Amino acid sequence: MRSILLALVGVLSLSAAPVAAQQTALTPHIGGRVAPAAEGGLLFGWPGVYFEGRFSGPSVTVAVDSGSEHLTISIDGQVRAELLKPGLARLTFDQLAPGEHVVRLDKLTESQTGRARFVGFFVGPEGRPLAPVMRPRRIEFIGDSYTVAYGVRSNRFDCTEQQVHDLTDTSQSFAPVLAGRLNADYRIIAFSGRGVVRNYSGLAPGEPLPALYSRLIPGQAEPRVDPADPWRPDLIVVGLGTNDFSTPLKADEGWKTEADLRADYRDSYVTFVAALARRHPQARFLLIAGDTFADDVEAVVKRLNGASAGLATAVRITGLERTACHGHPSAADGRMIADRLEAAIQ
């Protein structure tokens, strides 16, 4: 149920008041791209961004400006609140059990043009900040609406634009599912409707996913990723191609025939992955091959491995039930995709 969950454990208070002077900020562990906010805190817009804080003590405060996004707050793996309304909020969870705790904020919705702002996690005088959460592995996921988990909370094909926004839940994507199984941190760089060279129905020409990849906030051309960014994934999973080929070419697009489009897709995909491999020489690549572009992905993998043996593996994905909004993958489909990626890794 999409509502703020109250009093699951302890007392939840909600206000827009400033953080009390006697509170101490936790050092957050951040999953995903963020940018400094002029008013303080961190801006975030890509799907699946998350923040975690470790502490001991009886209470913790979460301060966040959700913008138009839906967010969840969990403590020790249990969801305590789901935020649906815009605005700056300060939520305090108290009467926690003695000992150490992990507080987490997750972004559920896709923000193609919007953004939210993380202000911080805070503990009072009786609390003690602890070292941030650390995991032994890192995975980057690059993709489209399948990676976003577009409209996954719906069991109907027909959805309005608002329903797609409200029923998208990236936490149910194959990306967090797989990362959780492997005890890995993750980043999701995904944008619904985008492809390698062509977007759904030819929309936004010249702005496929690779053109947006370096942005810190997906709907903003600036700021961009700092070349000194310390993020170094062990594995990069790419799922792009559905939007390149799911709709017929229009007369005013840049490819005369489908064969021209497929040749450009293959060449551009090789160039994109090769550039990522130069930046992340430690990473292995899994390229998702869907029904309409499996041969193309196999050709891309062959070329990449010809230049660097063992760099990439094609992972065939078929048999999806696709019962979410507009025929998108269901939560069960997401788990199945995670199964096949996990099998490819092992």
Q: Where are the beta strands (DSSP E) in the chain?
A: 12-15, 24-25, 29-31, 35-36, 42-44, 50-56, 60-65, 71-75, 78-83, 88-93, 100-107, 116-123, 128-129, 137-143, 184-190, 235-239, 284-289, 312-316
Contact 285, 304 (CB under 8 A): yes
The single-letter code of the amino acid at 51 is F
- Catalytically annotated residues: 145
Residue 148 C-beta-side C-alpha neighbours within 13 Å:
27
Say if strands 12-15 and 137-143 run parallel, antiparallel, or are unpaired: unpaired
The full 3-state SS of 284-343, as one line of letters, equals EEEEEECCCCHHHHHHHHHHHHHHCCCCEEEEECCCCCCCEHHHECCHHHHHHHHHHHHH
Distances (CA, A) of 134 to 29, 37, 67, 130, 184: 8, 25, 28, 12, 9
Distances (CA, A) of 190 to 86, 145, 193, 222: 23, 7, 9, 17
DSSP state of 178: H
Distance CA 122, CA 120 (A): 6
User: Would you state the torsion angle of the CA atoms of residues 329, 331, 324, 168, taken in this order, to the nearest 10 degrees?
Assistant: -100
C-alpha 129: how far from its chain's center?
27
Among the listed residues 236, 242, 152, 157, the one whose alpha carbon sits nearest the alpha carbon of residue 194: 242
Quote the tokens at residue 311: 């760099």
Distance CA 59, CA 317 (A): 44
- The Cβ of residue 282 has, within 10 Å, a number of other Cβ atoms equal to 10
